[in-house]
């Protein structure tokens, strides 16, 4: 593989016809959990000498980062499963989108001729079929553990995984969630925990001011429990604690009305002047540096990158005891766990850390140690590169 440079410090990888090729199908070019893990996958295989083409139904902010790593980005409309599709009308619309998209998807795979097709998330049900139609091995990377959905819905979502050579699960939670409704998945699955790049410098404890700052990082959605965090802050204020809350993130497409609800709630007298919605942070470490305590109030997580980011930033974490959080937080050792959807429990655990600085610092230090040992991006890149190389090697044989 040859490398050319364009501009100061920017590497542009020249094409190498002898290099293996990876085609990645992703549902968006956003910059949240599964998108960022996909970026680490690209970095891993580029370092191993692969050529990479990424296809998404639309462009987005991740496209520039992909291009910087030397990947080619191709916009090809492809059907993406949404919750709105869980109805007869939704299924009919999904089938119509699939029929219209199929020719362009097939043309892309034939033109790229990848050694492996990687489908990034279970929400792209047509891509495994297209890859198999064109006789290319397919790997599906599953980031979802939707155990609150009806079993029949989860079975339908799992069905395309039967076409995969390997299914990568981002946590044991995800494997158990899907394996419980589709046992065949277990035979072809492997767990590769998400990896997060640590901050560029070793973080230190924040010098607490007169008002303690709580931070939530993630999409501004009801599923992430942003409204629960606001009510927990209101409960803390009633208990006499001087606290403020920063919500770091942007809404999901179509979710602007929920953000309006958050702003309206934050404007009421008990929270006025205590809540800041600062939008998406390109540098999450700066946001975490401002935190005394990080809250992760999600109603469900398959893994929870935000928790690992907080741990790597050496900040104490209070998280809901759901799914993937149980793999990243050891209650009382690397963070505190509380029931989901319970503002008072979230407030009480936070108050415990506000009152016990020694406990807060102990949780932060231990959390960072475990995160550095188990959940770094370097470990993730090594595992994904080895796995994809193995799949490509089998296909050639």
CB 106 within 8 A of CB 134: yes
CB 316 within 8 A of CB 361: yes
Residue 379: burial class (beta carbons within 10 Å; 0-12, 13-18, 19+) = middle
Q: For position 87, what pLDDT does the model report?
A: 66
Q: Greater confidence, 146 or 393?
A: 393
pTM of the model: 0.81
**Per-position b or e across 35-69, b if 16+ CB within 10 A of its CB:** bbbbbbbbbbbbebebbbbbbbbeebebbebbeeb
Q: Domains for the chain: give ranges and CATH numbers.
A: 3-195+376-396 (3.40.50.2000), 212-374 (3.40.50.2000)
Instruction: Using the predicted structure, report yes or no on whether residue 34 has a pLDDT greater than 90.
Output: no
Q: Greater confidence, 359 or 303?
A: 359
**pLDDT tens per residue, range 63-107:** 999 999 999 999 999 988 776 666 667 777 878 888 999 999 999
Q: For position 162, what pLDDT does the model report?
A: 93
What is the average pLDDT score of the chain?
Answer: 89
Instruction: Using the predicted structure, report yes or no on whether residue 283 has a pLDDT greater than 60.
Output: yes
Mean pLDDT of all residues in 229-233: 98
H or E element at residue 157 = helix 151-158
Instruction: Using the predicted structure, report yes or no on whether residue 15 has a pLDDT greater than 50.
Output: no
Nearest to 196, CA basis, from 30, 315, 307: 307
Q: pLDDT-derived band of residue 42, with 50, 70 and 90 as boundaries?
A: very high
Q: pLDDT-derived band of residue 148, with 50, 70 and 90 as boundaries?
A: low
Q: For position 397, what pLDDT does the model report?
A: 64
Instruction: Using the predicted structure, report yes or no on whether residue 49 has a pLDDT greater than 70.
Output: yes
**pLDDT tens per residue, range 320-348:** 999 889 999 999 999 999 999 999 999 99
Instruction: Using the predicted structure, report yes or no on whether residue 24 has a pLDDT greater than 50.
Output: yes
Mean pLDDT of all residues in 132-158: 84
CA separation for the pair 311, 317 (Å, rounded): 7
Sign of CA dihedral 169, 173, 178, 184: positive
Q: pLDDT-derived band of residue 9, with 50, 70 and 90 as boundaries?
A: very low
Q: For position 86, what pLDDT does the model report?
A: 60
Q: For position 1, what pLDDT does the model report?
A: 35
Sign of CA dihedral 148, 348, 229, 292: negative
Q: For position 81, what pLDDT does the model report?
A: 79
Q: How far is CA 234 from CA 105, 166, 173, 228, 260, in A?
A: 50, 47, 32, 10, 18
């Amino acid at each position: 593989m040859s490398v050319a440079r364009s501009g100061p410090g920017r590497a542009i990888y020249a094409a190498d016809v002898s290099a293996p090729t990876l085609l990645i199908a992703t549902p968006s070019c956003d910059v949240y959990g599964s998108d960022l893990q996909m970026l680490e996958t690209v970095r891993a295989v580029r370092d191993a000498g692969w050529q990479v083409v990424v296809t998404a139904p639309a462009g987005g902010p991740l496209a520039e980062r992909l291009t910087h790593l030397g990947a080619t980005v191709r916009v090809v409309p492809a059907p993406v499963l949404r919750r709105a599709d869980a109805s007869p009308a939704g299924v009919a619309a999904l089938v119509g989108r699939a029929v219209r998209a199929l020719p362009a998807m097939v043309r892309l795979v034939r033109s790229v001729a990848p050694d492996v097709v990687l489908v990034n998330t279970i929400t792209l049900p047509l891509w495994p079929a297209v890859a198999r139609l064109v006789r290319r091995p397919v790997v599906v990377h599953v980031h979802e553990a939707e155990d609150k959905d009806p079993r029949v819905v989860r079975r339908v979502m799992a069905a395309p995984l039967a076409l995969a050579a390997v299914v990568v699960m981002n946590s044991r939670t995800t494997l158990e969630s899907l394996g419980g409704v589709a046992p065949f998945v277990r035979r072809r699955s492997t767990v590769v925990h998400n990896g997060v790049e640590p901050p560029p410098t070793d973080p230190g404890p924040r010098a607490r001011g007169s008002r303690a700052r709580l931070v939530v990082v993630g999409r501004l959605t009801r599923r992430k429990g942003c409204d629960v965090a606001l009510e927990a802050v209101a409960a803390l204020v009633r208990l006499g604690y001087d606290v403020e809350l920063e919500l770091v993130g942007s809404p999901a497409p179509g979710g602007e009305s929920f953000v309006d609800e958050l702003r309206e709630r934050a404007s009421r007298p008990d929270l006025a002047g205590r809540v800041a919605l600062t939008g998406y942070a390109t540098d999450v470490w700066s946001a975490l540096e401002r935190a005394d305590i990080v809250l992760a109030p999600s109603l469900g997580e398959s893994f929870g990158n935000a928790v690992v980011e907080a741990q790597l930033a050496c900040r104490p974490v209070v998280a809901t005891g759901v799914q993937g959080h149980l793999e990243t937080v050891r209650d009382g050792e690397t963070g505190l766990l509380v029931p989901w959807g319970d503002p008072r429990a979230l407030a009480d655990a936070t108050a415990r850390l506000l009152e016990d600085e020694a406990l807060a610092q102990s949780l932060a230090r231990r959390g960072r140690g475990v995160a550095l040992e188990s959940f770094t991006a370097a470990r993730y890149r090594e595992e994904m590169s080895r796995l994809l190389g193995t799949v490509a090697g089998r296909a050639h044989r």
